[in-house]
Amino acid sequence: MFTGIITATGRVTKTETARADGSHTLERTLTLATPYADAVLGESIAVNGVCLTVVQKVDSSRGTELCFFVSSETCDRSNLGSLSEGDEVNLERALRATDRLSGHIVQGHVDGLARVTRIERQNESVLLGVSIPAVLQKYLVEKGSITLDGISLTINALAEGEAVLTIIPHTWNHTTLKTKKVGRDLNLEVDVIAKHVEKLTNAYHR
- Give the start-to-end residue ranges of the domains of the chain: 8-93, 112-200
What was the pLDDT predicted at 24? 63
What was the pLDDT predicted at 97? 87
| Cβ atoms of 41 and 12 closer than 8 Å | no
Same fold, 8-93 and 112-200: yes
What was the pLDDT predicted at 198? 83
Q: Which of 65, 71, 116, 111 shows the shortest CA–CA distance to 91?
A: 65
pTM: 0.92
CA trace torsion 41, 45, 50, 54 (10° rounding): -10
CA trace torsion 107, 111, 115, 117 (10° rounding): -80
Question: pLDDT averaged over the chain?
Answer: 93
Taking the C-alpha atoms of residue 51 and residue 69, their distance in angstroms, rounded to an integer, is 11
In tens, the pLDDT along 124-144 reads 999 999 999 999 999 999 999
Where b means 16+ CB within 10 Å and e means fewer, 131-143 reads: bbeeebeebbeee
62: confidence class by pLDDT, cuts 50, 70, 90: confident
- Domain 8-93 matching CATH 1.25.40.10: the answer reads no
Q: 35 vs 69, 85, 107, 129, 192, CA distance in Å?
A: 19, 17, 22, 31, 29
pLDDT at 153 over 70: yes
What was the pLDDT predicted at 6? 97
| Cβ atoms of 187 and 48 closer than 8 Å | yes
Taking the C-alpha atoms of residue 91 and residue 89, their distance in angstroms, rounded to an integer, is 6
Name the more confident of 19 and 73: 73
8: confidence class by pLDDT, cuts 50, 70, 90: very high
| Fold category of 112-200 in CATH | Elongation Factor Tu (Ef-tu); domain 3 (2.40.30)
Q: What are phi and psi of 2, to 5 degrees?
A: -130, 180
Instruction: Decide: helix, strand or coil at residue 44.
Output: strand
Query: In percent, how much of the chain has pLDDT > 70?
Result: 95
